[in-house]
Amino acid sequence: AIIDAARGRVLYHGSRIALLLALAIVTYLLFPNTPAVDSPIFEVGSVATDNVIAPFAFVVPKSPAELTQERDELARSVKPIMEYLPAALDSAQGQLRTFMDSVAAAERHNPVARAGAATQRAAIAAAASSLGASLTPSEAEYLASDGRRRAMDDAVHRVYARWLSAGIVSGSAVDELRGDVILRRQGQERSVMVDSLMSFGTLLSRARALDPDPNSSVANGLFIKLLSAFFHPTVTLDRVSTEQRRQELRNSVDVNRYVVRTGEKIVGAHEVVGRPEFEKMRALHDAMQASTRGQRAVGRVTGSIAYNALVLAIFGIAIVLFRPQLYSAFRSLALFASVFLLVLIVAALAAHWQPVHPELVPVALAAIIFSVLFDPRISMIAAMILAVLVGGQSVYRGTNALFISLVGGAAAALSVRVILRREQSYQYVITIGVAYLFAAIALGLTLGWDSTQIATSAGLGVANAIVSVVFAMFLVPLAERFT
């Protein structure tokens, strides 16, 4: 018997708790968006109807195309780095010295008196060829003279020492360069015009002043040939360092266009929306959508249903305390749930009207039905619970839904207490309509509305009063029969 009694109590209370949870879940389904993902997005050029405040810190990232363009523009601003190489001068002078020593050795081992002029020229040409210099017979014969060879060696050496040490760049290294470059020398950098760098062509034109035998065409050709054969540019383009510096600048580009802090105003009410504000609102919406996935989504759904259930549980406790006979009548509880659901459905439909007008939420409809069927106390409590339940949903948070619904519902609940004859429905309309009018005036004066906004709010409230009274008179007989 005890077990049966316990099972009976479980079923008795369990069915009522199940009704409450079912209504809480249906309420969530009607308003699935939590406040975190219900961020408005106003178009560019429009006037914002509400303040948009960042609920948390977030960033507005740049698009891939914009990021690439900005990185490339910054990379192009890097001046090419030209590196001075002192070792190139040593290499040129060393190869020149080796060449002259080889020619002198060939001349000593093949004197004209013993080998003949042709053999001597061939030996000198062979020695030169082994070092990368191709000599004609006349040029080889010219270098066979010890005096002319020394003069040629001294002239080429002086050209290298004077101008290679100053810095000579190869033509291929600067053909595609324009403007300024960075010249790095001995650990120091300075900006110079690329046109101010001396090329090999400039070197040759200046070297003519040091020609050892300007009256000899053979000497002129040989002089230019030797300068070219052992030339090494002492200024070269450091492509690795240049690209490294460009990459550093690419990496320094901020990937975010804006950084928005918690509580920062994105756009204010009645302000014109610009491109930055629009991009911030779009990024906020995307960030909010992303934050509702996975485990966070489960938490938000659970929290929303728990919120609805707790608010409804307050009403259930009030019924247990003040009207226990209604709690024991499951049909009465089902009627409460049905009327609540009707109000919530209309509120969900009204939420699609932008901007949101909480004056359209028919809390007064529920208050009239409950006042007629039960009593003003329960009706007042039901109106308060419905006002809190609707005002706590995503689309109505941040609006005046709680205040307006509470005023309209209270007026409807109290008006039935005074007006006992149902045929006097016009008095219901006047009482509830006047309540909505005073609510609109109070809000308008508090929030600085203009006369048009106040009239709109009052007009919608009066329309709500008319529709609520008409539908209540139609639904009351059905509700009486149901209970």
pLDDT-based confidence at residue 470 (cuts at 50, 70, 90): confident
Could you count the other beta carbons within 10 Å of the beta carbon of residue 450? 9
Question: Can you tell me the distance from the alpha carbon of 85 to that of 92, in angstroms, rounded to the nearest whole number?
Answer: 12
Instruction: Give the tens place of pLDDT for each residue, 112-170.
Output: 544 556 777 777 778 778 777 778 888 888 887 888 888 888 988 888 888 888 888 87
pLDDT-based confidence at residue 311 (cuts at 50, 70, 90): very high
Question: Residues 6 or more apart from 288 whose CB is under 8 A from it?
Answer: 36, 37, 38, 39
User: What is the model's pLDDT at position 461?
Assistant: 92
Residue 436 has pLDDT above 60, yes or no: yes
Instruction: Give the tens place of pLDDT for each residue, 187-238.
Output: 788 888 877 788 878 888 888 888 888 888 888 888 888 888 888 888 888 8
Buried b (16+ CB within 10 A) or exposed e, 312-341: beebbebbeeebeebbeeeebbebbbbbbe
Chain mean position to CA 450: 38
Identity of the amino acid at 73:
E
What average pLDDT does this structure show over 169-173? 72
Tokens 């320094």 -> residue:
252
What average pLDDT does this structure show over 320-339? 91
Question: Which of 152, 295, 297, 291 has the alpha carbon at shortest distance from 227?
Answer: 152
Least confident of 96-105, 168-177, 178-187, 197-206: 168-177
Q: Average pLDDT, whole number, for the chain?
A: 83
Q: Residue 326, CB half-sphere, CA atoms under 13 Å: how many? A: 21
Residue 5 has pLDDT above 80, yes or no: no
Residue 420 has pLDDT above 50, yes or no: no
Token pair in block for residue 246: 């460009």
| Angle subtended by helix axes 401-418 and 425-447, to nearest 10 | 150
User: What is the model's pLDDT at position 417?
Assistant: 57
CB 180 within 8 A of CB 191: yes
User: What is the model's pLDDT at position 43?
Assistant: 76
Residue 110 has pLDDT above 90, yes or no: no
Instruction: Give the tens place of pLDDT for each residue, 283-309.
Output: 887 777 666 554 456 777 888 899 999
Assign 234 to helix, strand or coil.
coil
CB 128 within 8 A of CB 134: yes
Identity of the amino acid at 137:
P
Instruction: Give the tens place of pLDDT for each residue, 266-282.
Output: 888 888 888 888 888 88
pLDDT-based confidence at residue 35 (cuts at 50, 70, 90): very low
Tokens 């600067």 -> residue:
174
Instruction: Give the tens place of pLDDT for each residue, 75-94.
Output: 888 888 888 888 888 888 88
